[in-house]
Amino acid sequence: MMLMSRRPRAVLAALATGATITAFLTAPPPIAVADPAAAPRPVVDETFDGTTLPAGWSAVDGTWQVQGGRLIGTSTSSGQQSRITFGSPLTDFRIESHLRFESALDAGRWVAFGLDLAPNGAVPWSIATLRNGSTATNGLEFAQRTPANTWNVTDTAAAPVQVGVGKEVAVAVEVRGTRATWYVDGRESLRTTMVDRSTTGVQGLLVNGATVSFDDLKVTPLEKESFIRKPGAPLRVWAHRGASSAAPENTAASDEVARRARAEWIENDVQPTKDGVPVILHDTTVDRTTDGTGPVRSLTAAQVAGLDAGSWFAPAYAGQRVPTLAQQLDGLRTRGGNLLLEVKGAHTRESVARIVEEIHSRGMSSRVFVQSFEPQHLRWMRELAPELPLGLLRSTLDPDPVAIAKDLELSAYNPSDAAFRTRPGIVAELHAAGVAVNVWTVDDANRWKALEKAGVDGIITNRPAELAGWNAAFAQRVKPAATILSPGPGERIDRAQVLRVAVGNNSPEPVAITLDGAAIVNGTIVDTTTLTAGKHVLTATVAGSTVQSTFDVVATPTGLANLILTSGATPSTVSTLTTLLGQKQYAVLATYARTPGARGLTPERRGQIVAEATALGAR
C-alpha cells in the first residue's frame, strides 16, 4: 500500500470532490536484450486516442467503442462472448494491456486475450482469461473454444491480486508456439503447454457478461528464445522418453502422460531403420522395449512398425508401437507439446538430413530442440537447420564447456547429474555466455531442490508430473528479491499527496532504486508538485532481479487546490483561484491563471495550474 500524507489544510478537504483513486498493476519488464535497439518492435501499439476503432480492428460481437482514450467492450449477458480481432498470425509474441472492469454481472464474468482466433471471430479459439473474481481458483485460465462450440479449459489458477470492478490492472501473456505464460502485476501466474494454434489465427479481445475498458495495448513479436531460467521462474520440465516412469518409454502413451503432466518438452530418441526411416527408440536393439529382437538398424520400418512396444511395461499398454519420427511430430502438432529430440548413436549427414526433412515438412521447427552426445551431429544440424536450438549432452564435463558451447553455437549444455556435481560452478560460466544448463536424469526431489538452488535451468526427468507439482509448490514458497511497497502499482496520485519511496529487500544484496531512471534513496519523500503529470516508473533491482511499479500523477480538485495554496502567489490571486475552483469554473480558472493579473505565480507553477484546470474542465 502507498505510504502518503495529505496536507492538513481545511480548504483542501472542502475543495476535494472525493474522486476515487483507482489502481493498476504493471506488466513484466521487457525481456533484456544485448542491444535494445535491435529488440523487436510492437506490431500493434494502440493508446486509443482517437474516436473510432483502429484500422484493421474488426468487432465481431457485442459493443466495441473508443471513448475517453480507452477501448470499451461490452457483453450484456453471460452467454455472449463479445469479440474484436486484430493483428496478424504470429508464432511467438507478447500481448499486453492495461484493463479495467467497469461493470460485471458477477464475479465469474471475464475478459480474455485472444491468442489464436480466426479474423472473423469464428470458432475454434485459444484464449487467456481473467475473471472479475480473479483470486478464485479459476481466476486465470487458458481455454479453447472447440470447433463444436464447446469449452475445453486446459489450465487454471488464482491470480496474485484481486481485480474487481473499478481497479485497473496491467496484464500480459507471452506465447511461444503452443506454450504460453500469464503475467499479472509483473508476476508469472500460470503456464500452459496446450495452446491450440493455427496458421492463420490473429489476436483479439473477448468480454463476457461485463463492460471492460483497455488502454496501452501492444502485440510484440518475441525474439529468439533464451532457455536460461528467469529469476524466480520454475525449473523447466523435460520429460525423459516421455513420462517413462508411468508409461512405456518413447511411445504415444508416454508422450500423452507427459503432455497431461504439463511437461514443456517431451524428450525422445531417434535412430534410423535399415531403410533409413527415423524411428523413436533409445536402445541400439529392440529387445528390451519390444517383443522383437535384433538391432533396430537391421530391421526395416515395416518390421519395426509391427512390434509391440507396450506389453513389456504393463499389460494395459499392449499394442503400443514404436513411432516413426513423422508420427511423433504429427501427434505433437495435433495434440500439443514440444519435442526435445536426441539424435541417438551414430548418424551420417544423410540420416541427419532426413530428420531435418521430417521436421521442416511438418512446420515443426519452432517446436523442436535437438540434442546429442556427438558434436558432429550438432554441426550438421546447424548447417541444415540453423533455426533449431541445440544442446550438447555430456556424461563427463568438457575441460572448457564455454568454449565448446560457443564453437557449436549451443542454446544449452546438458550434463549428467554425476558430471554436474563435480563442478556446479559451470552454471555461472555458461550463463555468462548465454547458454542454459539442463541436468539429466534426475527423479529425486532433494536433488531438484539442490539443482534449483545451484541455478540450473531445467531437469530432464522420468517423473515430469512430479517435477511439475514440485515446481508449483516451490513457486508458492519463493519470495521476490525486492518488493515495491510504495508507490503501489497503479496508484493515481494528485498534487496534494506526498509520496514516500519504500522498497522491501528480501536479499542480502543491496537494492538499487530509480525513479524515472534517476537514482533515488529508499525512504525518500517525493513532493508530487515537483513531478510532471502522467506516468512515472519506480524500478528496484537486487540480485539480478528487477521489479517495477508504475503510477500516475493526475489532476484532481484537491490537487489543484494544493498547487494554488502552495504557489506563493499574492493573497488576491489565491483568493480568486480558489473561488473559481470551488465553483468548478475550471475553464475560467485556466484563463485567469494565464493573465498578468494572476500575480506572484512562477512560470512553472502557472503552467501546472493551467494544465490541471484544463484537464479537469475536459472531463
The DSSP output letter for 80 is: -
Q: What is the dihedral of CA 168, 120, 49, 171, to 10 degrees?
A: 20
Radius of gyration over every alpha carbon of the chain, rounded to an integer in angstroms: 29
Question: Three-state secondary structure along 378-427?
Answer: HHHHHHHCCCCCEEEEECCCCCCHHHHHHHHCCCEEEEEHHHHHCCCCHH
Task: State how beta strands 81-86 and 179-184 pair.
Answer: unpaired
Q: What are phi and psi of 241, to 5 degrees?
A: 55, 35
Bridge-partner residues for 372, per DSSP? 392
DSSP assignment of 531-568 equals SPSEEEEEEEEETTEEEEEEEEE---HHHHHHHHHTS-
Catalytic residues: 240, 282
| Cα 380 to Cα 371: distance, rounded to the nearest angstrom | 12
Which positions ≥6 away from 107 have C-beta within 8 Å? 131, 132, 133, 136
Q: 283-309: buried (b, 16+ CB within 10 Å) or exposed (e) per residue?
A: bebbeebbebeeebbebebebbbebbb
CA 490 vs. chain centroid, Å, equals: 19
Does a cis peptide bond (omega within 30 degrees of 0) precede residue 119?
A: no
CB 120 within 8 A of CB 159: no
CB 2 within 8 A of CB 488: yes
CB 15 within 8 A of CB 161: no
Q: What are the Cα distances from residue 56, in Å, to 86, 112, 392, 443?
A: 6, 19, 45, 50
Helix (H) or strand (E) holding 465: helix 464-477
| Cα 554 to Cα 535: distance, rounded to the nearest angstrom | 9
Number of helices (H), then strands (E), in the chain: 15, 34
CB 235 within 8 A of CB 110: no
The DSSP output letter for 311 is: T
- Of 326, 195, 173, the closest CA to residue 259 belongs to 195
